[in-house]
Amino acid sequence: MTLLEFARGPALAFAIAVFLLGSAWRLWTIFRLPRLADRSPAREGAASPAAGALHAIVRAMWPRRSFARWTHFLTLNGYVFHVGLAVVFFGYAPHIAFVRRLTGLSWPAFPDPVMYVAAGVTIVSLLFALLWRLTDPVRKTLSTADDTISWTVTFLPLLTGMAATSEPSAAILARDHAIYTTALSIHLLSAELLLVWFPFGKLMHAVLFAFSRGASGIRLSHRGVNV
Amino acid sequence: MSAPNRPIPAFDRQGELSQSERIDVAMRSFVRDFGWTAALHVESCVRCGLCAEACHFYRATGDAKYTPALKLEPIRRAYFREVGPFAPIVRALDLVPRPTTGDLERWQELVYDSCNMCGRCTLVCPMGIDIAELVRDMRHGMFVAGLVPERLALMDRAARQWGSTATPGEDLPDILAEVSERYGVAIPCDLDRADMLVTAAPAELTEHTKALAGAAKILDRAGVRWTMHREGFDASNVGFNNGDVELQERLTRALIDTAVKIGAKTVLLPECGHAYGAARWEAGKWYAGEVPVRVIHMTEFLDESLAAGKIRVRRIGESATFHDPCQIVRRGGLEAAARRVLAALGFELRELQDHGVTGFCCGGGGGVVSNVRSAPLRARVFEMKKAQVEATGAKHFVTSCGQCRITLEQGAKATQWTKSPESLLELVADNLVD
Ligand code: SF4
Ligand code: SF4
């Protein structure tokens, strides 16, 4: 079995299994806990729990005016790398071809220059986030090993992906087999590392954020707090 | 997360538990408190640190140890070691260290001296984490472990014995008689039947008696059949603040059961934030079905009485700014009610730069005002509020919580500031018209 066959076969299957089962397990261990429902009478005219949750999920997308400018800047940086990662993963033609092989699903790709810019901006933004974490006293105090691991497994696929991209997408897709197999294998394995780590660390916030915001939204809207 | 890298500040202990017993009971309590919401909130923190900027203790000092997310460290560890999805592995490999007594002692300062459970941090948190509520869960564990600031523990003991931190119930009739005489207003006590049980904050039985007399005036003008009662009169629930759940239940039941006993349909809470948090939003914990009476805050009562035309007030027609008490506004939902009362008084309202749900805490909430140790920290927080009040140029500085008033009065005194916070209730009482 070649390295590429390994990366595309058993390693990929393993990573997807860990990702799905691990995430499901993590969610289950939260929701098996008691509900501890709020038994106080709701404020007259309070929004329904669903409306309260939804409002909180949407409201938390951008900080309020009363918070300082650097909060807005950090939030913006967060958006840059989140959106950048999504564009790079979902918009790059060879990624779409990869997903189509696995699932049969496909969608139009962005042109290559857009992808290069997106990857570049995402890398800079992630480097900025790292720098901030390593230098700012608040973030230094809060950081755990999870932050280092999560940052690394997010950054590696970008880096290895750039290394594996030495030709235009059209040329890559025109061939029926990969020629830069080592670079591609390493790229795939790095992405699989991200999938494997996902359920164990803070990357899981990609799923939890809605529940977490929603839970506070339900609590506060029950009280008629206009957040 | 790293422990605050400082010498351990003064900490207090109660009881005779050994070091390891303290950790065991604290950990058991932390673990017991986890339901969905708390678990989601511990799980979803991304350690972005944005919450620091929302917290007045961090803002006033610039010290990273006051970062809200860090205040939760012991309970976070308890979660991942005992409750979380991979707890057995975490424990076996010691991936998350078990808190030590040293940690808990260090965190005593962070959860009792430098957190008001004001909830401002939740508003900036991209995950919407309710840190205030988790700090309360931490206080439950700290309380059972006997690791509470001594001053708060002392108040706890008084309340356990007397049902109040101010006075034993037997003395209530005498205190009320004195207030009646001083202000020339009748304050009914221990009536067998009434429609409304009226309660007080401890300060209203000592230095803020004018507020109590004002309440009596307004209640009479509104035509309410009311009484105070020695079996349930102090609404400021020290159990709620300290993390003493048993006492919290006892104090809440004293109010509600007394109301039921005298046939009252409503419990009127004083101008006190934590009284509202405890009785309005948490009484449901102790009553299996529905809470058998309506529980309302003084601000709601004023608002409703004005709206219904049961009382009328003279329009003052001057400028005022308003300090939003956290438990009543950000955690209680009465932002608009207070402003309607201010409007009825004819004030030209000049809002603080941060107001309504984003207003800064006075720095005294959650029992911090009674915690002598935190006085220097409170003074720095006060400077932030003072600057915002001065920037409005408003003539009056109004609020609707007696605890906030005490905190702000202390700050004003320490800085020779001439502005004194006024009570919304007292302003209504002083300006009643026929
Ligand atoms: S803002 Fe929220 S997610 Fe960020 S560190 Fe604070 S609690 Fe955690
Ligand atoms: S609840 Fe208030 S005092 Fe406590 S950490 Fe949050 S902002 Fe600071």
- Name B297's bridge partners: B269
Q: Which CATH class is domain B310-433?
A: alpha beta
Q: Which pLDDT score, from 0 to 100, does residue A25 have?
A: 98
User: So where are chain B's domains?
Assistant: 19-148, 167-304, 310-433
Handedness of CA B228, B230, B234, B239 (dihedral sign): negative
Residues in chain B with pLDDT < 50? 7
Tally of CB atoms within 10 A around A113: 9
Which ligand has the nearest atom to the CA of B68?
A: 2
Q: Is B48 in the pocket of ligand 1 (CB under 6 A)?
A: yes
Using one digit for the tens of pLDDT, what is the confidence trace for B49-83?
999 999 999 999 999 999 999 999 999 999 999 99
Q: Which pLDDT score, from 0 to 100, does residue B297 have?
A: 98
Q: Which pLDDT score, from 0 to 100, does residue A69 have?
A: 75
Topology alike, domains B167-304 and B310-433: yes
Residues 6+ apart with CB under 8 A from B322: B338, B339, B342, B349, B351, B352, B355, B398, B399
Residue B123 Cα to ligand 1 midpoint, Å, equals 10
Instruction: Identify the residue whose C-alpha is closest to ligand 1 atom 8.
Output: B45
Instruction: Name the pLDDT band for A225 (thresholds 50, 70, 90).
Output: very high
Q: Does A216 sit within 8 Å of B43, measured CB to CB?
A: no
Cα–Cα distance measured from residue B5 to residue A182, given in angstroms and rounded to the nearest whole number: 46
pTM for the predicted model, two decimal places: 0.94
- Name B321's bridge partners: B397
Residue A10 Cα to ligand 1 midpoint, Å, equals 37
Containing B323, the helix (H) or strand (E) segment is: strand B319-323
Q: Is B40 on the interface with A (CB under 8 A)?
A: yes
| Disruptive mutation site among B30, B43, B125 for chain A (greatest number of A CBs within 10 Å) | B43
Q: Is A111 exposed, middle or buried (0-12, 13-18, 19+ CB in 10 A)?
A: exposed
Q: Which pLDDT score, from 0 to 100, does residue A165 have?
A: 85
CATH topology for B167-304 is Rossmann fold (3.40.50)
Q: Which pLDDT score, from 0 to 100, does residue B7 have?
A: 46
Residue A134 has pLDDT above 70, yes or no: yes
Using one digit for the tens of pLDDT, what is the confidence trace for B176-202?
999 999 999 999 999 999 999 999 999
CATH topology for B19-148 is Fumarate Reductase Iron-sulfur Protein; Chain B, domain 2 (1.10.1060)
Q: Which pLDDT score, from 0 to 100, does residue B90 have?
A: 96
What's the rounded mean pLDDT across residues A168-182?
A: 83
B286 and B260 in contact (C-beta within 8 Å)? no
Residue B47 Cα to ligand 1 midpoint, Å, equals 5
- Name B269's bridge partners: B297
